[in-house]
Amino acid sequence: MPGTMGTASYVMAPTAGNDAFWSSAHGADRVWSRHQALRRVRGEQLCDEPESHGIAVRPISRRALAKEAPDAYKDVDDVAAAATLTRLVPLGVVAG
């Protein structure tokens, strides 16, 4: 399950009889639309925080980066808590 530019991603373990594992997870799901994210977050703000933690951020534009703001998504840690095998942390971000 992919995280966001500011959160971990997860390798999940299937559970018997759970048909959800026949498809690929696309992440934790959004709580803000991309339009809402553009109104609430500036892309410039999003570069500084990950880079202060050693995560490379190389967006095609600041606008593209703002659309994918970590706050625009549900907490991936909560969503993945049920069946996690491995937690992966981000090393870089490509937006666009």
User: In this predicted structure, what is the pLDDT of residue 33?
Assistant: 92
Among 26, 35, 39, 53, the one annotated catalytic: 26
Tell me the torsion sign for CA atoms 67, 71, 74, 75: positive
How much of the chain exceeds pLDDT 70, in percent? 83
Please indicate whether residue 26 is annotated as part of the active site: yes
Say if strands 84-88 and 9-12 run parallel, antiparallel, or are unpaired: antiparallel
User: In this predicted structure, what is the pLDDT of residue 8?
Assistant: 83
Tell me the torsion sign for CA atoms 40, 44, 46, 49: negative
pLDDT tens, position by position, 26-72: 666 788 999 999 999 988 888 888 888 888 888 889 888 888 888 88
Amino acid at residue number 45? Q
Provide the Cα torsion 71, 5, 52, 42; round to 10°.
-50
The strand ranges marked E within 7-88 are 9-12, 56-59, 84-88
pTM equals: 0.58
Q: Which among 29, 75, 68 has a CA at the least distance from the CA of 47?
A: 68
User: In this predicted structure, what is the pLDDT of residue 28?
Assistant: 62
